[in-house]
Structure 1
Amino acid sequence: MKRLKITNDHGWTPRTLRKQERKIKDASLRVRVTAVRLVMEGFLGKDVAKMVNLCRQSVALYVARFNEGGLDHL
């Protein structure tokens, strides 16, 4: 299994994503942003999936979408 990696941060850092998470009212979007942030911080996809109660494939999809277009694509 290939390690998930943020290839384009679109100007976001783990710290700024954490601040953004607090502002997001939509719970499902908040989970997606949290998953991306945890991958950005270096956690494995399977560990992130357990932390946010998602399947590994969903985490991989969210990371791919973020890499493609930032938060707008989540």
Structure 2
Amino acid sequence: MKRLNIIDNHGWTPRKLRKQERKIKNAHLRQRVMAVRLVMEGYLGKDVASMVNVCRQTVSHYVSLFNEGDLELLLHR
């Protein structure tokens, strides 16, 4: 299984993402940011999926959105 990677962090660090998580009121959007942060910290996709209670494909989708268009695209519904 291929490891998920953040290709372009767009200037975001895990610390900055954690601060952003705290500001987000919507639980689903907060979950997206948390998933990306955990991947950025080096966790495997399957482990992140169990931590945030989604499937691995969903985590992969979140990472793809973040890689494509920064946090703005990740938070766009």
Give the TM-score, by structure 1 length.
0.98
Runs of 4 or more off by more than 4 Å in structure 1? none
Aligned-residue offset at 1:21: 0.2
Aligned-residue offset at 1:26: 1.0
What is the identity percentage for the equivalent residue pairs of Structure 1 and Structure 2? 73
Aligned-residue offset at 1:55: 0.2
For the residue of structure 2 that corresponds to 1:9, the secondary structure is coil
Is residue 4 of structure 1 aligned with residue 4 of structure 2?
yes
Ranges in structure 2 where 5+ consecutive residues have no aligned partner: none
Equivalenced residues, count? 74
Aligned-residue offset at 1:43: 0.1
Ranges in structure 1 where 5+ consecutive residues have no aligned partner: none
Q: Which amino acid aligns with 2:59?
A: V
Q: Which amino acid aligns with 2:24?
A: I
Aligned-residue offset at 1:23: 0.3
Cα distance in structure 2, aligned partners of 1:62 and 1:46: 13
* Residue of structure 2 equivalent to 1:63: 63
Is residue 38 of structure 1 aligned with residue 38 of structure 2?
yes
* Residue of structure 2 equivalent to 1:25: 25
